[in-house]
Amino acid sequence: MKVCIIGQGYIGLPTAALFSRSHCEVIGVDVNKEIVDNLNKGIIHIEEPGIAKIIKKSVKKNIYKASLTPEKADVFIITVPTPYVIDNYSCDLSYVINGCKSIVPFLEKGNTVIIESTVAPMSTDEVIKPIFEKAGFTIGEDLYLAHCPERVLPGKILEELVHNDRIIGGVTPECSLKASEAYRQFVEGNIMLTEAKIAELSKCMENTFRDVNIALANELAKICAEIGVNALDVIKMANKHPRVNLHSPGPGVGGHCLAIDPYFIYSKAPETAKIIKLARDTNNSMPDFVCEYVKKIIPAGKIAVLGVSYKGNTGDDRESPAYEIISKLENDYEIAIHDPHLKRDNFVSLSEALENADLILILCDHNEFKHPDYELISKKMSNPIIFDTKDIIYKVPKGITLYNYGNLYELNK
């Protein structure tokens, strides 16, 4: 089987790696020439365990090749980004549409086209399907079209792509079957066949469920800071109930999924999806909440920001709330940013970030931050204060002040 995958990012590249590991010939298409050139040398551009080894081996065996343009194949998979339109929160399908149009000249009868990009409900039937019909194909007879959303956790993408259950939403039952044949090359979890529109809404609701529950925890943190209660203790006690699982509050919600997908549902029924929109608004308000309490802790000075990835132990900073927090603080404070999982020109070493800092602001739960070098902190900071927005530090030595969502109310006394 030959597979052509459009997009070699956080989903496209791991998917390409698994197909090539399963002895399929894979063409990985991307618009970034530097990424393409590096991939053809076996050099990957994302931090994700296991991928580099597979891609290097597959390049060497000539079963994986990166390219700026598609090629003829048996299966075409679209894994491009789908941001939202700021004006009305609808799904921006422009990358998906361009990806679909790019493969049309290479399609042959009997091919399968799979949309992995997260899209709003009805997108496959109403927007994507007509592209291929206009090209002369009859969907379900000589071209098979399906929406098969990914559902993976950064840091465990390879493992979850293999072992998680997979939703296969075909435009027709025949489309579902054809798409499932492709995924059976490496998927060991259950493969569930359904309609495209059900697959679309299922993926959006998975992320919306999580977003709403995080919003509940964030709202609780705000309430507790206002009325003088330890939010972290409340969550700990409430979660002793066998049917309660309150999430942890944080500095906001990031990533391409939780921070965006709920809007796709909201845009389809804005008068009805009130809880979904309120949850988005609540989570979007957390950077302001963090900044408000930073200013209560120190009115001026230098802040050592630790972590900008939206997900701990990864270099994935897509939609990270850390950047909004930094932007809101940098006019009033000197900001030094350290993230061991990301390389940016303006990032500095931990030692440099801590030098003469007045506050450590933890915005990501990397393992490197869970057990700080307190000796270094005390050496570099004259009056060490830590504001831990991720609840990863439980006890600090004498002489160091720790704030988290459990004791912010103390700042309101």
Which DSSP state fits 367? G
Is-catalytic flag, 257?
yes
Residue 295, H or E segment = helix 286-297
What's the burial of 162, exposed, middle or buried (CB within 10 Å: 0-12/13-18/19+)? middle
Per DSSP bridges, beta strands 166-170 and 143-147 are antiparallel
Q: Which of 203, 222, 380, 390 does the annotation list as catalytic?
A: 203
> Long-range contact list for 204-210, CB < 8 A, 24+ apart?
204/118, 204/120, 204/121, 204/261, 204/262, 204/264, 204/265, 205/265, 206/151, 207/118, 207/257, 207/258, 207/261, 207/262, 208/261, 208/262, 208/265, 208/276, 208/279, 210/247, 210/258
CA angle 238, 244, 248 (to 5 degrees): 70
Q: Which of 4, 91, 175, 257 does the annotation list as catalytic?
A: 257
CA distance 343 to 76: 33
E strand map for 345-411: 359-362, 385-388, 401-403
Side-by-side strand order, sheet with 359-362: 334-338, 302-306, 359-362, 385-388, 401-403
CA distance 208 to 215: 10
Is-catalytic flag, 390?
no
Note the helical H segments in 135-172.
157-163
Comparing CA positions, the residue from 407, 395, 276, 251 lying closest to residue 327 is 251
CA distance 166 to 187: 8
3-state secondary structure of 379: helix
Catalytic residues: 203, 257
